[in-house]
Amino acid sequence: MAEQRGGEKRPVKAGTTLYRNATVIATFTEQADVKDGAIYVDGNVIKWVVDCSDKVIIPGMVNTHHHMYQSLTRCIAQDSPLFNWLTSLYPAWATMTSNDVYISAKLSMAELLLSGCTCSSDHLYIYPNDVTLDDTIRAAREIGMRFHPTRGIMTLGKSKGGLPPDNVVEETDSALEDAKRLIEQYHDPEKYSMMRVGIAPCSPFSVTNDCMEGAAKLARQYQQVRLHTHLAENHQDITYSEKTYGCRPGRYLQQVGWDRSDCWFAHCVMLDEGERKQFAECGLGVAHCPSSNARLASGICPVRQLRDEGVNVGLGVDGCASNDSGNLLEQARWALLLQRGLLRDVKGMKVREALEIAIQGGAGNLGRDDIGRLAPGYAADFVGWKLTGNVALSGGLGDPVGALILCTPGPVDLSVINGEPIIQDGKLLTCDLEELIREHNTASARVCAAVGSPDL
């Protein structure tokens, strides 16, 4: 059996591995935390978890919204809201090359991996020059991340009433034809898949209805191809939908056939009560991006209400140009603190709940039932932090799992994905990180030279 359909084939790892001496293993099952435990891996699958030392181990976290190319343009338009921020950055992104996108994706993946993330989606919706989604797929295969790339699309340029300039949009038919190519070349719907491709028209203010409808029709011709877009991000977003489509986002989703359980949506800050009910009834998922929404002054997603009403919520770091960090554990902490602060109630979110959203909520958004737990039959994706000598955790070892959220433990010491060690003793094994950073900064300087004005 081989992982990954199309392109380079990589066989499932043969043999067994015993990961032992963990101080605490949080399994995120009905089983209680395992003290001084070990994880036995056969090939790429967990066979059992038993009572090992000096590490706290959790299932790998799952990132469900990112724009990895945006790591090239951090700290731009620092005091602008969403639409103004976008208009300043479109000219810079239009200069990107295939190698820029490859380098930025690989750098973003390294940052995610070091923060405890083992599986990530990515939303690449701009294809200037020689850029293709293949650039990000190449990066994921080299660095070893479980990956859900989505073929983003923008078809509604400024001359037709959209936000992006005309030189960065595409025609619907050609974009969907490329999405079909990518699905047939790379998408693997099988259990423990390392690569699943989705389709992701960018947003209501940058795509036409025929693009949304065509994407849904195409995705549903295949197994496990999911749909993703931005939705209800801020007041500007809502105003645009009402002016352009004559309705709020919930009704818009019905009109274009996106009110089904194969869809998940980024942000959802401005959902009203009826739309929250719609999301629960239709099985729609939410990618909560707390730092990005705060940075752009968009607001705070009503996560407590969404979860209480039965909506699946995962986390997203969002693009590194609006966060401006790719640390997923940091997002889990933000999610906890913002809900408590918003509701003035510690019940706004519990500590373990924040980790659950980062792990199992993310798996749910991506349609995965084979990751997110440390239990027999689940993919061998897990991460660990060393406890001894970690200044941020000192004094918090009474509950090392809770300390991951309430303290700031820094990079992981161990990361295993699909049974393969990716980080050991704090060192990323699958790339030369120093060289990658040098190449990334060189590309960033060139791309940022084209940043425009934030004014609309």
Q: Looking at the structure, tell me whether residues 48 and 90 fall in a common domain.
A: no
Q: Looking at the structure, tell me whether residues 30 and 67 fall in a common domain.
A: no
Q: Looking at the structure, tell me whether residues 315 and 204 fall in a common domain.
A: yes
CA pair distance 52, 59, nearest whole angstrom: 16
Burial string for 139-167 (b: 16+ CB within 10 Å, else e) reads bbbebbbbbbbbbbbbbbbbeeebbbbee
Q: What is the pLDDT of residue 5?
A: 41
Q: Looking at the structure, tell me whether residues 280 and 338 fall in a common domain.
A: yes
Q: Which residues pair with 416 in a beta bridge?
A: 382, 421
Q: What is the pLDDT of residue 456?
A: 61
DSSP 3-state percent helix, strand, coil across the chain (nearest 5): 40, 20, 40
24 lies in some domain: yes
Report how many domains make up the chain. Answer: 2
Q: What is the pLDDT of residue 10?
A: 45
455 lies in some domain: no
Q: Other C-beta atoms within 10 Å of 168: how many?
A: 18
Decide which of 318, 342, 365 is a domain's last residue: 365
Q: Extract the tokens encoding 412.
A: 């992981």
Tell which residue, 306, 293, 358, 305, has the closest CA to residue 330.
358
CATH of the domain at 34: 2.30.40.10
Q: Looking at the structure, tell me whether residues 123 and 33 fall in a common domain.
A: no
CA pair distance 302, 383, nearest whole angstrom: 29
Burial string for 362-374 (b: 16+ CB within 10 Å, else e) reads bbbbbbbeebbbb
CATH of the domain at 255: 3.20.20.140
Q: Looking at the structure, tell me whether residues 207 and 121 fall in a common domain.
A: yes
Q: Is 404 helix (H, G, I), strand (E, B) or coil?
A: helix
440 lies in some domain: no
Question: Cβ neighbours of residue 40 under 8 Å, at least 6 residues apart?
Answer: 16, 17, 18, 19, 46, 47, 48, 49, 50
Q: Which residues pair with 287 in a beta bridge?
A: 266, 314
Q: Looking at the structure, tell me whether residues 357 and 378 fall in a common domain.
A: no
Q: Looking at the structure, tell me whether residues 334 and 407 fall in a common domain.
A: no
Q: What is the pLDDT of residue 12?
A: 52
Q: Looking at the structure, tell me whether residues 90 and 123 fall in a common domain.
A: yes
432 lies in some domain: no
Q: What is the pLDDT of residue 4?
A: 40
Q: What is the pLDDT of residue 3?
A: 40
Based on its alpha-carbon atoms, the radius of gyration of the chain, rounded to whole angstroms, reads 21
Q: What is the pLDDT of residue 128?
A: 97
Q: Other C-beta atoms within 10 Å of 298: how many?
A: 22
Range of the domain at 246: 63-365
pLDDT along the chain (456 residues), means of 10: 40 74 91 89 89 91 98 96 95 98 98 98 98 98 98 96 94 98 98 98 95 98 98 95 95 97 98 98 98 97 98 97 97 98 96 98 98 96 95 96 97 96 96 98 98 80
433 lies in some domain: no
Decide which of 326, 349, 365 is a domain's last residue: 365
Q: Is 217 helix (H, G, I), strand (E, B) or coil?
A: helix
pTM of the model: 0.94
